[in-house]
Amino acid sequence: MRLYTHPACLAHDPGEGHVETPARLRAVLRALDRDRFAALDRVEAPRATPEQLRRVHTAAHVERILGLAPAEGTVRLDEDTLMSPGSAEAALRAAGAAVAAVDAAMAGHGVRAFCAVRPPGHHATADRAMGFCLFNNVAVAAAHAIAAHGLRRVAIADFDVHHGNGTQAIFEREPRVLFVSSHQSPLYPGTGGEDERGVDNVVNAPLAPGEGSHAFRELWEGALLPRLHAFRPQLVLVSAGFDAHRDDPLADLRLNGEDYAWITARLVRLADAHADGRLVSTLEGGYDLAALAASAAAHVEALMG
């Protein structure tokens, strides 16, 4: 089992008081530094190439993000998405981690991987940074699996509390990708209704504010996991956001660390059943530092099996 990260991901700083802070990744890495994670194969993430990014983003978007980082201070891309001097490098390493993890999974070494990276990715669309996201890391990974490895069925499971609107928009006309998401509704970014089905390759399962373990597990067990199994993915990608935790300040679901271990074990089983065990998970949200660290640790522990 591999752990991909890069120090550059700590140098993306949206500014004082922003919830998507470098302290998030520091908390995750500290939690994964304990003895029980000693067996993790730790790998420094390479940069994604412009070619890899352009599989899902417009050339104009890639150029803009790479050219926008200010020499000092921050530059604002939308209400809550900012770039600092280190942001372009962080975004390249975050997407590059997911690409490298796909290559490793396809090569058979350490078939499972967790990418402890930031900025997160699932809100970024083909031509727009939004919701703290610059490049769509999981989408870049899925497109790489198709283009570089010739896969015909790639599943993306997204359990972040927010809907992965960017991932959905990028793949809603691409039947080689199945995108499956549980998320709170109503909540930012406002997409993710059950009627949004793409070309029958998008499954959205909204949860109401206040719902917790029971509703979450019922949704995955009853609707989302059966769809994933029926798709018989050759690779399982995970948008692992931990902001559906009960302590998270940005949302109102009530999951706990055990729920993350539970869903992770089921996704591992999915990968074992169809994908020769190949599973690549990448960090999305999670804004209570203690809850994030504990949930990510539960996730990685379940990935290690």
| Region for residue 232 given its phi and psi (left: phi exceeds 0; alpha: psi -120 to 50; beta: otherwise) | left
Q: How far is the CB of 162 from Zn ion (least distance, A)?
A: 4
φ, ψ at 256 (rounded to 5°): -130, 180
Q: How far is the CB of 284 from Zn ion (least distance, A)?
A: 6
Written as six digits, the tokens of 237 are: 């990608």
Which residues are within 8 A (CB) of 267 and not within 5 positions of it... i.e. 6 or more apart?
157, 236, 238, 279
Which residues are within 8 A (CB) of 59 and not within 5 positions of it... i.e. 6 or more apart?
none
Q: Of 160 and 174, which has the nearer Cβ to Zn ion?
A: 160
Q: How far is the CB of 19 from Zn ion (least distance, A)?
A: 10
Facing residues of 281 across strands?
Answer: 114, 238
Q: Of 67 and 249, which has the nearer Cβ to Zn ion?
A: 249
Q: Of 182 and 264, which has the nearer Cβ to Zn ion?
A: 182
Question: Which residue is nearest to Zn ion, using beta carbons?
Answer: 285
Q: Of 257 and 285, which has the nearer Cβ to Zn ion?
A: 285
> Which one among 89, 243, 247, 248 touches Zn ion, defined by CB under 5 A?
243
Catalytic residue among 123, 162, 183, 299: 123
Q: Which of residues 123-182 bind Zn ion (CB under 5 A)?
A: 160, 162
| Site map (CB under 5 A) of Zn ion, residues 76-115, x = contact | ----------------------------------------
Size of the site for Zn ion (CB under 5 A): 5
Q: How far is the CB of 273 from Zn ion (least distance, A)?
A: 28
Of 280, 272, 284, 236, the C-alpha closest to 100 is 280
For 165-185, give the secondary structure using H, E and C. HHHHHHHCCCCCEEEEEEEEC
Q: Is 163 a catalytic residue?
A: no
Name the one range near Zn ion by CB under 5 A: 23-31, 56-64, 193-201, 236-244: 236-244
- DSSP output for 42-58: EEEPPPPPHHHHHTTS-
Q: How far is the CB of 123 from Zn ion (least distance, A)?
A: 8
Of 205, 138, 194, 195, the C-alpha closest to 171 is 138
Name the one range near Zn ion by CB under 5 A: 65-73, 135-143, 189-197, 277-285: 277-285
Under rule CB under 5 A, residue 248 binds Zn ion: no
CA distances, 74 to each of 7, 187, 188, 229, 270 (Å) = 19, 26, 23, 44, 42
Under rule CB under 5 A, residue 285 binds Zn ion: yes
Of 298, 300, 255, the C-alpha closest to 279 is 300
Q: How far is the CB of 288 from Zn ion (least distance, A)?
A: 12
Name the one range near Zn ion by CB under 5 A: 171-179, 215-223, 226-234, 284-292: 284-292
Whole-number Å distance between alpha carbons of 249 and 100 = 32
**Which residues of this protein are in contact with Zn ion, per CB under 5 A?**
160, 162, 241, 243, 285
As annotated, the active-site residues are 123
